[in-house]
Structure 1
Amino acid sequence: MNSKTESKKYFKQVSKTNKSVIKKYNKNKKKKNIPLSQYKTSMRDSNNLIEIDNLKTFFYTDMGTVKAVNGISYNIPRGKTVAIVGESGCGKSVSSLSLMRLIQGPVGQIVEGEIRFNVGDHAIDLTKTPIKKMQSIRGNDIAMIFQEPMTSLNPVFRIGNQINEVIELHNSDMDKKEVKEKSINMLKLVGIPRAEGIYDSYPHELSGGMRQRVMIAMALACDPKMIIADEPTTALDVTIQAQILDLLRDLKDKIDASILLITHDLGVVAEMADYVIVMYAGRIVEQGTAEDIYLKPKHPYTVGLLKSKPVVNKYVDRLYTIPGSVPNPIAMPNHCFFKDRCNSCINKCEGEYPCFNNVSDTHKVACWLYERGRKK
């Protein structure tokens, strides 16, 4: 059998498998009148706002199954900032979109795990929550500041109309005058001068920093308990970056919200985060407090990320780069995903994927170098 015939047979089998899997998930999504008992759960720690447990989000493509998020677990405590860092394509944004249930179907599906959301007297599992219920949670309890405001804001609607829509959706008792007043107050809250004029402007009439502030105003319009900020400062210059970060920090304290910050800028993380999660190829390789990760990094990947960050007042001929590239997400190896790029490998790295090892009460790492009993 030639390679062309084998390829045709492989793609046919992939397509058949994808259709059966997607059909099963779509059938579950179409269920209506789901009682609370089917998605009600309980928190392991009442101090946490979100608990993510063994979350897996896969994309069923024509080339094969992409395991974008492959069994991650972490907590977001009340009133704290948790940062997720890693290279592009490591699963940061997909994990946040999974939390919001905004994964693009039918190709993308949450296939396993729990996302427990603390609503006060009880908790709900967002992976099983009906779509109608999720629509009342998005924007109201959990809000997201998307990565690029120019693609998130509608270019044919005025700024005021877009903020009004968010407020009206979750506050049906407010009249138009109250909604407009609330929208203008939100623009003022995020530091936009001449808020009444900006209210009647179109997105293209604003600078990048102003558009980002509008996105933050929309996200905070309903006083959410949880704010997801997906690389909120990537397209901005350093002066505006600092202003946006200060704004997020101040607003978090004002409304007593938790923040999930997704970024590849380690400088932003050091300034903003209480806890840091390092992701690589769809998995968490290290997590701990910001102090743990910055002062005592353990995983060779984390060490490489920190070494590649430029340092003020330190001259180097060339910035450090981690050798190699991320493995193919469709055919992931059984051993540690970072093994082929690591300069600290031991014999055990050839075996199964490493489990988490506790370095301290707050710090854990998925690396065989820190297996219990081994010298650290």
Structure 2
Amino acid sequence: MAVGLGPLSTLHPVPGFELGIASAGIKRPGRKDVVVMRCAEGSSVAGVFTLNAFCAAPVILAKKRVSGSVRYLLTNTGNANAGTGEPGLQNAMRTCASLAKLAGVDESEVLPFSTGVIGEPLPVEKIEGALQAALDNLSENNWADAATGIMTTDTLPKGASRQFIHEGVTVTVTGISKGAGMIKPNMATMLGYIATDAKVAQGVLQDLLRDAANKSFNRITIDGDTSTNDCCMLIATGKAALPEITQASGALFAALKQAVFEVCMEVAQAIVRDGEGATKFVTVQVNGGATHQECLDVGYAVAHSPLIKTALFASDPNWGRILAAVGRAGVAQLDVSKIDVFLGDVCIASKGCRAATYTEEQGAAVMAEEEITIRIELGRGTCSETIWTTDLSHEYVKINAEYRT
């Protein structure tokens, strides 16, 4: 039921970054559910992680290891290894150690990632049994297969790729993500992996990823639930024949930043387009705020409202629900007489009440579309923020009611 999301476009290989996929049969026999990624020696690696206090064991371990030397990333689906306490942490360490032994590296150079059901013990033996097959499958051309291998309730794989030329050298940025539910990131997405062959100092890479995630993954929401397992990684292999980027300035950095931002935005929006049960892709644009935070507060109040989301599903232009959400967003001293609200290009409310020119037919026409923009003009300042979300359908309830059965 993905909205405007089709087959993967070309995902260019990134020199120095390989991906291997195998089946551990964690939830279903034969399903490709283990992905191993190998970074060239000397790669820089950056990461952003969930702020959920119940963060999963692999998140705890990956956060500790990301600033050091990283050679392998190990991902399993079907089991989140979250809410599993000290045994979960030991299991995450054991899978990393098993991969490290097979690959001939130190176990501290392996980062673990898990996604799936929370609260169940990690099936370590199954994962260990698939590691050699994943290593044997390693290839720079396996992005599309890896995008499928990290899926859970996703209906389609998600990926994006950009290339640019700097001083005659082609630089590649390619990324994949997964996620369809439990999406309101407080750092990044459910899982995201982006790689480039540019050479970038780790500190610069970390800041670049944080900025990119903040404008993409941190601006999407499906159901308002921040996962225990959210992680997004950015790897720079340094295989492009160009000088190392040591500062966030200059033409090379600017071109790389644009490419990374575009890839992050595309795979983040793909998560919304593939939201569980989604039939609408909704942009909530808030302009004229006194601060960026109050724009976000208003945007999320609208994006998270079950009443608005169900009206979107029904294609019902019930604009009163939008006004109610804006009014309860917690913005101090909000002057409703200055607020205008638009559905697409149609002004539905002006100066705090129904617009004189608005007709129900106009609103219904906009709401019948698959892609809808709700624009709110606060009239308080110059700040703006944009959030992307979905409607709330019968299918969302069904998917999550049956998630463990």
- Do these two structures clear the TM 0.5 threshold for a shared fold by scoring above it? no
Q: Which has the higher helix share?
A: 1
Q: 1 or 2, which has the higher strand percentage?
A: 2
Q: What TM-score, normalized to structure 1?
A: 0.30
